[in-house]
Every structure is written in C-alpha cells, then in structure tokens.
Amino acid sequence: MKEEFIRTEMIASGRKLIHWTEMHMNLLRNFRESFHQTKPFQGMTIGICLHVEPKTAVLCRTLKAGGADVVVTGSPGTTKDEVALALNNEGIKVYGEKVDDRTKHLQNIHNVLQHKPQLLIDNGADLTRTLIKHYSADGLIGCTEETTTGANLLREDLSGQFPVPVIVINDSPLKRIMENEHGVGQTVIEGFMRTTNLIVPTRRFVVIGYGTCGRGIARYLRNLGSQVVVVERDPIFGLEAALNGFRVTSLEDTLEFGQVFITVTGRPSAIQMEHLRNMKDGTILANAGHFSWEIDLEGLREEAVAVEKLTPDIDQFSMPDGRRLILITRGEMVNLAGGSGNPIETMDLGLALQISSLLYLIKHHSGMVTGPQPVPDEVNMEVSRDMLKELLAI
C-alpha cells in the first residue's frame, strides 16, 4: 500500500510539472490542437531517445495527439522519475529511471527499437547507432538528431552507413542561437549553483569548447561576474572567443588558474588524466556535453585512493598526492542532472523543429538523400516566424 501511495503521488507530481511546462510551450500546444483533427502520425510508431523531463513529456503528448504510438527512453542520470511515471500512466511507454547506468541505458535503447518505429528522434545517436548494428531499417522513414555529439558520430563514425535521411536539428541556426547559446548558457550555471551552493562572481572558470553552447556558458558566466578562460582547438572558434573578449589558451595553461572546469565539446577525453594530475586541490569538474566521456572518469576512478560521496550530486576523489578533485552530477549533463534543463521557451522552439522535421520527412523522404543533413530552410523559416510571434507577445 505504501509503495502504491508513493507511486500515485509521484504520478500526480509529474502531471503538475508537465502541466506547468505545457502552459509555456505555445508552439507545441498549437501543433497539438491541429493534430487532434489532422492526425499526421496515425498508425506510426515514433521511437524517442531524449532526456525524460517535462519538456520532452509535452513533445510525447503532442505526437500522441497526432496519432502516433510513442515509445521513449532517456539518458543516464537525467530522467525525472515522476515524469516517466506520469507518461506511462497516460499510455506513453517510457523505458528508464534516473538511476540507470550506461549498461541499463543501452538495454532501454534496444527496448525502444524492438517496437519497430517508423520515425526516430535521437539524442547522441544512440538509437541510430544501435539500429545500424543490430536491426533492420525496413519500414524506417527517417530520423532526427538533437545534438552536436550525435551529429559528429553520424558524420564521422557512421559516415555512409545510414540508409534513410537524418535531419540534424543542431544544424539549425535557430537551435544554435536560442537553445544552445541562451538555453544551455544560463542553465549550466543554474545546475552548478544548485549542486554546489557556491557563488559565481569572482570564481575562476575554464570553459572547454567554444561552440554555440560553450559560447553561451562563457558569456553568462562573465555577465555574472566570474573570471572566464576559454580552451578551444578550432582556430576559427578560438578567434571568435578572442574577439568576444575572452582569453583563449591551451588546457595545460589553465591548470593553475582554474577553480571550475566545464567541458562542452561533444568529443571524448577533452580532460585527460595528465590534466587531472596537475589540477589544484579542490578543483571542481563539470560536464555540459551529452556524454560524461568528455572527462576521463574511468582513469580518475582508477587513480583515486578514495572516493567519497559528499552529497547525492557531489563526489570527492582523493588522489595519491593528497589533492582532492570534485566531480559534480557524476559527469552527466550538469544543466539537467543538476538543474531543470534548458528554459521551457527555448525547448519549445527546439522541439517544434523536431515535429516540423518529422512532418517534412513523412512528406519528402522518398526524394531526400540518405544520412545526416541540415534542417530544411522552409522548416527553419516557419518555426522562426512562429517563435518570434510568440516572444513578441510575451
């Protein structure tokens, strides 16, 4: 009885979170209202790998209103269990819990693909990579990919292997401006502050990666009074950072300066053991990229003489020389694992791009090239006009 009571309370809490979020996602609400009549996804299964939190829940409800059978999983450490329970209670199948590790996550990915979806919405290319390796693409119309990390994997590791069109949402200038720069920028700081309860002004931050997400993080940190140094290997992005007034240097040159290191590269091993061995006592490590692999956590765990969990989201690693390195949110995305994720309005735009891209795939997939490609211009224009109208109405 007690477990059932807790479950009922969690479902009610999840519904309230989704309700609050849906109130501020006008683009998706407009889609949902039209879908009640048009049912563009009738008879289709849509497999989703996105962070299971209230904004994703609104997306799932919207697609279901369009006639789709929706099956979804999240990412390790970012699932909001009350939201997952609320969706399951509404007939939207969710695989996964907040406590899932990478092994369990991959099992969840297989569970989604066993429903034989006709459309995929992916995050980090987990669904697409697993489908290529283990499943037939028969019946698959197309996919969307949300992240820089996933786009890199599709274009580099899986180049030429994917048999259907994949629209890369992260290639949209709308997503890069609104969601990446302004959404990630402020919420990474929110996640850091919630997790650590430390001030941002005067603190010395090293932002590793100056793509649109890194640019937003660096700018928001500076606006709040912190000292910021940028590490960027791409000379064009590095030049942009310098022109924006940031000191740009190598990671090795920041090890004495930095108090907090934030990775946001979309690449593995941005921080390696040779860097961890030379960081100062008390250094805080945070990751804003899709996978925790941006920090060599395996090497850190092997070399540490002791690991102590100071809070549910703060781990202290004691190193052989007596230094202590602090990892927050287990190296998972700090804005989601430690905060509420990107602001609702920015995700309204990003998820509207997802829905519009799915509709474009249904209509045009037979004439599209296979593999990763940018969001079509007509989709960008339509969503940007709608978003501007909503923002000006606030």
Q: Where are the domains of the chain?
A: 2-175+342-392, 182-337
User: What pLDDT does 392 receive?
Assistant: 85
CA 350 and chain centroid, separation: 11
Q: What is the mean pLDDT of the chain?
A: 95
pLDDT at position 2 over 80:
no
Query: Which has the higher per-residue pLDDT, 108 or 153?
Result: 108
CA angle 111, 116, 122 (to 5 degrees): 70
Q: Is 0.75 topped by the overall pTM?
A: yes
208 phi, psi to nearest 5 deg:
-100, 105
Give Cα separations from 347 to 57, 93, 361 (angstroms): 12, 22, 21
CATH topology agreement for domains 2-175+342-392 and 182-337 = yes
From edge to edge, which strands make up the β-sheet containing 260-263? Answer: 247-249, 227-231, 204-208, 260-263, 284-287, 324-328, 314-318, 306-311
* 3-state secondary structure (DSSP) of residue 130: helix
d(CA 349, CA 344): 9
Q: How confident is the model at residue 394 (pLDDT cuts 50, 70, 90)?
A: low
d(CA 207, CA 264): 7
Helices marked H in 173-234: 173-174, 185-196, 212-223
**Long-range contacts at 345-348 (CB < 8 A, ≥ 24 apart):** 345/24, 345/25, 345/390, 345/391, 346/178, 346/179, 346/182, 346/183, 347/25, 347/55, 347/179, 347/183, 348/24, 348/25, 348/26, 348/27, 348/28, 348/55, 348/387, 348/390
d(CA 130, CA 122): 11
User: What pLDDT does 93 receive?
Assistant: 97
d(CA 216, CA 383): 22
Q: Within 13 Å and on the Cβ side, how many CA atoms surround 26?
A: 12
pLDDT at position 142 over 80:
yes
pLDDT > 90: percent of the chain? 88
**Identity of residue 6:** I
Over residues 77-95, the pLDDT tens digits come to 889 999 999 999 999 999 9
133 phi, psi to nearest 5 deg:
-80, -30
User: If residue 357 lies in a helix (H) or strand (E), which one and from where to where?
Assistant: helix 344-364
pLDDT at position 297 over 80:
yes
d(CA 153, CA 166): 12
- Extract the tokens encoding 346: 């920015």
Per CATH, the number for 2-175+342-392 is 3.40.50.1480
User: What pLDDT does 334 receive?
Assistant: 96
The CATH number of domain 182-337 is 3.40.50.720: yes
Over residues 363-382, the pLDDT tens digits come to 999 999 999 999 999 999 99
The stretch 260-277 carries a mean pLDDT of 96
pLDDT at position 345 over 70:
yes
Q: Within 13 Å and on the Cβ side, how many CA atoms surround 18?
A: 26
Which residue's structure tokens are 């009640």? Answer: 36
Residues with Cβ within 8 Å of residue 295, at least 6 apart in sequence: 263, 270, 271, 285, 287, 327, 331
8 Å CB contact between 263 and 287: yes
